Structure 1
């Protein structure tokens, strides 16, 4: 069964971005539950920001699941990526993501690698950079598997990374890894920029998609841009996807209105 998911950002250093609810964990969860969301996706500064017992209590209270945890604070706050030329920084990046994997796995949720994948920096060799990425994903994929979960790798658009921008590139890259614990994140906003045919890309990535980010062409909630959602939804159902559809979208016009727009769109296309 496909499940709906609201995003909650708890990083003090960030005041705006593609997350529906902000700052107040319980208030965000209460609103998500009230609107009928199945789960939340968390973006936190560290793996210890939210105490286990407190989160467990809230998830139980509001009858929500934890769908996934983001790792982007590792780059935003600490400047860590898996492809930094400095081996010490790569080591710290792996450690940071490992902690996030452990945090999420406690609740049965995978960790997402988006911005922490990094870039091919000026003056650096692309093949070498991709080998660093592969090395990091091998280690982290196995760590996820040891904790009975998987790892999510997100192809980003060309304005955010020069590594892997399409689902096809992601499938081919992951196919060369020894670990089979890494799945792809299909982010509809990024795909709107990079994919010639979004439904086709989803169909061709069948079996590799572990999470979906639900945002329109302008990264506002679905229905507020020009993404043609009906054929995309059909492709998602055709591959028998049974994970979460998560609203990584700007909180516009307001968080509450964005949440309402998202859940209404989710029900329109997936209920």
Structure 2
């Protein structure tokens, strides 16, 4: 397994669950000094960061880009893969394609979380899932052409009424034509939705391609009541070798949150 910390470069979402903010180079320098293996980026768009500059920073600080988020597509532009308007769905697919292409230049997958959207009033649930599947199939195949997987994230019930649990995510992926999508196991969302987080991880198995490392209250691990020992054991049993990435609030401040995260990572996965 590999340790990872999040960096958000979008000032308008300052209250979100990301450890470092705004200054990419300084944040990467701090992550490297603490011994993280990689960073996960949340940018406003695919052209917000020059890929050549990002590669230089990765080499300078000996860090990998674990993943790139696509949530700005919804947060800033209101785009989702399940919008009833076909023009909006097309724009959503185009936005994610651009993020996939950006991430692929540094070997990083893109994550689809909030951009999956919801079943909205007046739309049949089956129809919304058909739109979601259509978008995921297109984007999964596109990511494959770029040499990276696509990551799909089940969210808790307060953020989506589509897929909330890992097992439902597995069923969704099994029904797609693309075989290039992995699940994101977000411990914060799982704390709300799963009866047993270790059992859910074991059941999802190799479908898991990324882990978000946050406590029950979305503070860094150690700041809530999540029972991490069993979760860590389940991931080790699966021989999970991906990133364990801190998508958590910068509590009480970014530096302390990063230090707590790497301390907890070493405690459970060291």
Q: TM-score scaled to structure 1, two decimals?
A: 0.99
1:4 to partner: Cα distance:
0.2
Matches within 5 A, 1:184-263: 184-263=183-262
Q: Which runs of 4+ in 1 moved over 3 A?
A: none
Alignment partners' CA distance in 2, 1:221 and 1:52? 29
1:111 to partner: Cα distance:
0.1
SS in 2 for 1:13: helix
Residue of structure 2 equivalent to 1:48: 47
Structure 1 unaligned blocks of 5 or more: none
Alignment partners' CA distance in 2, 1:205 and 1:248? 21
Matches within 5 A, 1:46-125: 46-125=45-124
**How many residues are aligned here?**
270
Matches within 5 A, 1:16-31: 16-31=15-30
Q: TM-score scaled to structure 2, two decimals?
A: 0.99
RMSD between aligned alpha carbons?
0.5
1:149 to partner: Cα distance:
0.7
Alignment partners' CA distance in 1, 2:175 and 2:52? 39
Alignment partners' CA distance in 1, 2:265 and 2:230? 14
Q: What per-residue deviation string (whole Å, max 9, x for no partner) do you get for residues 58-98 of structure 1?
A: 11100000000000000000000000000000000000000
Residue of structure 2 equivalent to 1:166: 165
SS in 2 for 1:161: coil
SS in 1 for 2:250: coil
Alignment partners' CA distance in 2, 1:163 and 1:209? 18
